[in-house]
Amino acid sequence: MFKPQFMTKYMLFILIITLIPLAGCKQDSAKKIDKDELVYPQNKKLISDKAMVVSAHPLASKVGMDILRKGGNAIDAAIAVQFALGVTYPVAGNIGGGGFMVIRMNDGTTAALDYREKAPLAAFRDMYLDSLGNVVPRLSLDGHLAVGVPGTVDGMVKAFEKYSQLKDWKQLVKPSWDLAKDGILLTKREANGLNRNKDKFEKFNTSQPVFIKENGEWAKGEKLVQSDLARTYELIHNKGRAGFYEGEVADELVAEMKAGNGIITHEDLKEYEAQWRTPIVSQYKNYEVISMSPPSSGGIALTQMLGMVENYPIKDWGFHSPQTIHVMAEAERRAFADRAKHLGDPDFYEVPVKELMDKNYLKERMANFNPNAATPSDSIQAGVLTKESDQTTHFSIIDADGNAVSVTTTLNTGYGSKVVVSGAGFFLNNEMDDLSAKVGVPNVFGLVGEEANAIEPGKRMLSSMTPTIATKDGKLNMVIGTPGGSTIITSVFQVFLNVSEFGMGMSEAVNAPRFHHQWLPDQIFTETDAFPAETVTALEKLGHKVGVRGSGKIGRFEGILVMPDGKLEGGADIRGDDSAAGY
């Protein structure tokens, strides 16, 4: 139940405006939703005629939908949603982080925008090692030294310059400025997240950020007003790129770094540029899969996994049959082994893209696949997955003209470095942990790396983010993606197959239980109760270790499926506050 003291006129207004875009859409809230958790109504499964936005927060989905209704295209909506998540979803939505945007226009042209953070110019290879050469625990995760140079604002500017249909930057930023100024109501999950991290916010901040609730805890439905952030959005609204990388906000960010022994300077900010990359495009049967290129490993690893299972009859074996799980886990194992060795920032390291995706190479990679036994991973030191929460965020958009955008964006782990820029009101990322602090030593996601992903000044850290668009028989079919660190790639792999091989609709595909193998540690991780006991036994007989992953959940997926009649099915993950909006 809502607490009466928070049931304000404002909240009623928000409830009403959130419901308006649903007129004309068929919604079917999945049965597992706990109604008591809903501060803003969430549409977990939504069918719409023309356009759809699916994101991690109902207000952000609404902001995107409003832009589409006003004549913006999918890219305009994506820019507005990215900014809105920076206010409504502080745990991962951001302007202090980075991300990737994959685009497919209705004429079939594609693009990939890399607004990934970069290592500061003063970064160096051994910066997270002590005098004995050991990695200092959490130095790349908590506090000022963990922060990469943020890319989000420049990314949005680049997307706007090349693709905006509205051609009105201010209209895209204004809704988020208003949300920061007027306040948002906290969902139970967000309130819990802020409360859980209170000690860290206190420890790693040089001033008292608004996210720390004095005298007590945040409650579901309570209003969070972000005045400092509102002023930052005002500057971005008025000045675009210069509102963030120059002037007051830049001064505040650099002052924050100095106060907390961080290393980002004005020069880092001035020279940051988002990059257009060539998307990774591959064929899987009658699908074309368009995904993110390096410095994300997502597109290549997804292509590898799909290529490795393509010749096995997984449809006949069935969804989550032991044979299907076995062959998928073996493909995942092999792709992650390649990731650790061969993938990194293409501006620093020559990534053998073609070779890694070559169909013959992938066939060869499976030559030692044994249908009756797991292939043990190489026995170098195994990484340990921690219980760090699944915090990054994805959104998927299709506009009424059939343009599609798939965006995954992040601060890395929940609330990033936990550092809020004093005076500017936004969290800074802890993306530096995605670079390899030392060969063979796993990062927070248990991922290991070598030369390709070693720390260098100005280098982008290797990512697993996999924003993906698929066509079927040449027509737009799916827009998909999720957070989840290393599990992002395997989750996209599974949801794609759930639809393409196992005949699921998008909502069903998104909400189906998930599993994950990443080579090291040598284990199949599952969600709680993902497999019945007999399936676990069958996998163990094949030689797999099977165990539940830290939090018992994997990812928070946002997908859109173009149905045979041309209508759109949005699937927003039941694992979070995610919600679809459409018309």
Closest to ligand DON by CB, 138 or 223: 138
Task: Give the nearer residue to ligand DON in terms of CB position, either 484 or 582.
Answer: 484
Q: How far apart (Å, rounded) are the C-alpha atoms in residues 461 and 242?
A: 24
Q: How many CB atoms lie within 10 A of CB 12?
A: 10
Whichever of 304 and 391 has its CB closer to ligand DON, that residue is 391
- Fill in the amino acid letter for 149: V
Give whichever of 240 and 416 is closer to ligand DON, judged by the CB atom.
416
Minimum CB separation of residue 394 from ligand DON in Å reads 9
Closest approach, Cβ 393 to ligand DON, in A, equals 8
Per the CB < 8 A criterion, the answer to whether 122 and 464 are in contact is no
Cα separation of 195 and 439, whole Å? 35
Give the residue with the Cβ less far from ligand DON, 205 or 413: 413
Find, among 354, 54, 416, the residue nearest to 200 by Cα.
416
Residues within the interface to ligand DON (CB under 6 A): 390-392, 410, 412-413, 431, 434, 463-465, 483-485, 488
Provide, rounded to whole angstroms, the least separation between the CB of residue 410 and ligand DON.
Answer: 5
Q: Known catalytic residue: 392?
A: yes
In the complex, minimum distance from the CB of residue 305 to ligand DON, in angstroms, rounded to a whole number = 16
Torsion angles phi and psi, residue 240, rounded to 5: 65, -135
Whether the CB-CB separation of 40 and 13 falls below 8 Å is answered with no
Strands (E), 13-148: 26-27, 45-48, 52-55, 98-104, 110-115
Is the distance from CB of 480 to CB of 452 less than 8 angstroms? no
Region class of 479: left (phi > 0), else alpha (psi between -120 and 50), else beta = beta
Which residue's CB is nearer to ligand DON, number 205 or number 391? Answer: 391
Do residues 383 and 333 touch, judged by C-beta distance below 8 A?
no
Q: Compute the distance between CA of residue 293 and CA of residue 492 in angstroms, rounded to an integer.
A: 15
Is residue 448 within 8 A of residue 384, CB to CB? The reply is: no
Closer to ligand DON by Cβ: residue 413 or 477: 413
Neighbouring CB atoms inside 10 A of 176's CB total 29
| Closest distance of CB 352 from ligand DON, Å | 20
Q: Which is nearer to ligand DON, 449 or 570 (CB)?
A: 449
3-class SS at 93? coil
CB of 92 to ligand DON, least distance (A): 7
d(CA 126, CA 144): 16
Q: Is the Cα dihedral 388, 526, 294, 53 positive or negative?
A: negative
Residue among 206, 392, 408, 410 flagged as catalytic: 392
8 A C-beta contact, residue 548 and residue 537? no
Distance CA 143, CA 412 (A): 13
**Smallest gap, in angstroms, from Cβ of residue 417 to ligand DON?**
12
As a three-state string, the secondary structure of 499-517 is: HHCCCCCHHHHHHCCCEEC
Provide the minimum distance between the beta carbon of 72 and ligand DON in the complex, in angstroms, as a whole number: 27
Catalytic residues: 392
